[in-house]
Chain A
């Protein structure tokens, strides 16, 4: 809760914001149970000391929750339902257990069976198997993510974005990504054991092969070093219309140009980003060439590698400051965080347009295009 509240406080403080001008706060959370349950959006609004008139809600689109929250905030503004709304997200993975919210998706046996449910790691390994990404390929990508993230931190590229978390007496308890391992080498990663062999043997490999019968054996290549890190985090994005900007005395940095979501095959689960990218570009009459930078959540290395291959992208335009493999993936917060990262980078490079996308549970994918103004 403090993670979300302190981010909202920082957002108000930095911008000298009269919080009474904000209509709604939409927070993503991928495990809205326990202390993250009970509509953490509203709780965070009050804990942050916002005006009680500010509404709050929580959305769940698995890993894409925070991007969806930004999109929802933007939609409120676009439709005129709100003048200003905050979209963001929060996840404290150190204080919840992964899978704590379970759900019919994975644990209603009749549905899970007929939906060919398999955990995400199996899906990631299936992508690597189907596309022929070797252990070296995915490890190399992980090393590159670490290198880029380390360089970005070193050069202070995140300094405008990161907010320190403080304790009861105002001391800083957290002010940087603690998950990073800039010293990571290919040789070091090669020593790690693949993480999903056990789940595979339990029956999930067979489920995956039943869905993809062209696979002889699933190659388990993902491990802690080339998958997204399990971390805590929060992020928030303020979206408003012109009249709000004038009243608040704020100048917009970028506009949300378009966004959409899509569903794809749920067993492999993680292949929606390229499909949702195509869908979104088509909807707004754009092409891949119109996008200066791409930000795709590094759920697993193979997800990014498939995205680059499927869209035939220049790797130098994708996740240029590293991603969740190096810095971690607080499930329900990442969408807002990477939107902020890529906006900072557009400004730093003097570029115009970026596309942010995440794969999400049960085959979902969400994407947003932003443009600097």
Chain B
């Protein structure tokens, strides 16, 4: 047994101590399952053992499954039957066997117990937990597209009741000990020093190795004869449909486990749960969520793309040029991270106004009790508004966030570089201007890089780091270290017009406007985007940023590229909205929407005259696919052209940068979700219907033909793995 110890004391109490070697936390792994089954069988078989305590030698009791391991078998690596068989070992041979082996088991929960960890505790006959608020319990599997598949849905519902179980399982919420006791999730809360003695006490004095549901005559639910069940089961599906847009398969599967499972005998209920689990494990959505939202996002936050041979660095003093929306936001997050910030603008008034942004955010945080006044004041003291370039002396990094104009940016670059130390680097927060072009103004282009933050900076965790042709590896490493200091998530892209995020994002809003021009009802366009999982529709989004923004980008690109520039599909819609209809966006009183003072916004009624709806309207699925495909195709082009070097950067960047739907795992994962071959065929169909912008490149077509996915495919494993 490699992941746990089993010691038997003089009273015949077996102490099973979880202790995974070389890991900070105990996790559910194939080795652990084997070890635990062996331990259970030993307790069951050894007549001298009266009962067992399960606890952990690590600060946490046990976290959930090893996500990287699950990733290897998720999303199609197994057949449904294999996935079902896979779930039986932990569910039946481990947890159910523990529960029915005739010896009492107590979980002595010494720290957090989540997912598989809490499922193990649930399978025990009694649960004692330390009175430490950090020792949370819960079943968060829904967040990775799965469900607790070792009896978690069944035991929790039978212990705390269906309504509370539904809330806990669908939210995936972690619960601190006191609340867990109130809910019935644990049986006893004790100080840490008494944990084992309390567990022993229960075993020696009041143990019972038979669960309530294994007593003859037990009935867990009257199903729909119970009005509470009716309420939960008729309202929750609508809530799930509204929240998930029907793109996440786990929540409704969990609800079905609760509904059907409570009407079945326990062992049959476990089978039902396992079958739902198998379906989810084989569904690409679970793989997408685990791969992009957890594993690869985590890797990116740990600076996966950082050149390894450059010494670790830290910024102690940061210069921010331009105290507008972006500059103020960058100053705020840097000061939060303990960095001294020189916030420079052309007048002291503007610079001070930039600092006010932090004042407001921190005042709010203090008001809500999230930050102490002292801590807030210390953060504010780090931001020094100024108009003097001399103040930049000593900065290891300067980020310019001035007006998006090559000339303006050139001037501030030169003035800053004049006072910077030899090793300092310079970052531009441009969202679209080529870094190579901006670096021409620099006297040391190797130390020039793009650091594209997103608005609002304090809430958007992504930084798109743009490597110019001259940017050195050392500059890249230093920049990534800085992003790490901010506890934000970087992706690394190569220089190109619009880089990665702006370039792909534009295709989304252009496609939405193009649909309008084709005569598609505007509500249908917006609802299609929502159905895809975007937080807002393209027309609403355009109103927020104003059409001037994408229009300006197009104008700049056209000016720079001349005859080589290909106008986007929505060129004419933008021109008309700006210059004929004169409705640029919300800030100017209205755009695609009206903004009445006393009512919620609504689509501008004039749209139907300006863009007459066609008599025949396409299904929402077709529109939804168009919006996803056009972005996926552009992303594939970025990978093909080397703008993106790692698929993970594309997918993580899309989710964090512009709210690309998480269920897809990102635009490249979306292509894999559809299937490479089917994607290419569909794109070709769309190209013939909607235009050449949908045409897959030869490169993509070849990849599809060869079955060459973007990510390494999971190794085929046997069900017994």
Chain A residues near B (Cβ < 8 Å): 97, 99, 102-103, 106-110, 112-113, 116-118, 202-207, 209-210, 213-217
Contact = CB atoms under 8 A, between A and B. Distances in A.
Q: Which of A107, A209, A215 has the most CB of B within 10 A?
A: A107
B338 interface: no
B524 interface: yes
Nearest to B526: A216
Interface in B619-669: 620
A109 B524 contact: no
Given A102-B224, A203-B241, A216-B523, 8 more contacts: A107-B230, A109-B259, A203-B235, A207-B238, A207-B241, A213-B523, A216-B526, A216-B602
A216 B523 CA distance: 5
A298 B230 CA distance: 27
B520 to A, nearest CB: 10
A40 B133 CA distance: 57
B233 interface: yes
Contacts of B620: 213
Contact of A108 (B233, B242, B617): B233
Contacts of B227: 97
Interface string B236-263: 1111111101100000100110011000
23 contacts: A102-B230, A102-B234, A108-B224, A109-B234, A109-B255, A109-B256, A110-B252, A110-B255, A110-B259, A112-B233, A112-B234, A112-B237, A116-B241, A117-B234, A117-B238, A118-B238, A203-B238, A203-B240, A203-B241, A203-B242, A203-B243, A210-B531, A214-B527
Contacts of A206: 238, 241-242
A103 B229 CA distance: 11
Contacts of A97: 227
B524 A213 contact: yes
Interface of B: 224, 227, 229-230, 233-243, 245-246, 252, 255-256, 259-260, 521-524, 526-528, 531, 600, 602-603, 617, 620
A109 B245 contact: no
A246 B235 CA distance: 55
B239 A203 contact: yes
A213 B229 contact: no
A113 B229 CA distance: 15
Interface-centre pick from B242, B523, B620 (highest chain A CB count, 10 A): B242
B237 A117 contact: yes
Nearest to A209: B527
A204 to B, nearest CB: 5
Nearest to B243: A203
Contacts of B236: 109
A209 B602 CA distance: 15
A109 B602 contact: no
Contacts of A215: 523, 527
A118 B235 CA distance: 9
B229 A107 contact: yes
A183 B527 CA distance: 43
Q: Nearest 6 A-B pairs (CB), nearest first?
A: A203-B238, A206-B242, A203-B242, A113-B237, A216-B523, A213-B527
Best-buried of A108, A109, A203, A206 by chain B (most CB within 10 Å): A109
B235 A202 contact: yes
Max chain A Cβ within 10 angstroms of own Cβ: one of B238, B239, B240, B602: B238
A113 B170 CA distance: 15
Contacts of B526: 216
Contacts of A116: 241
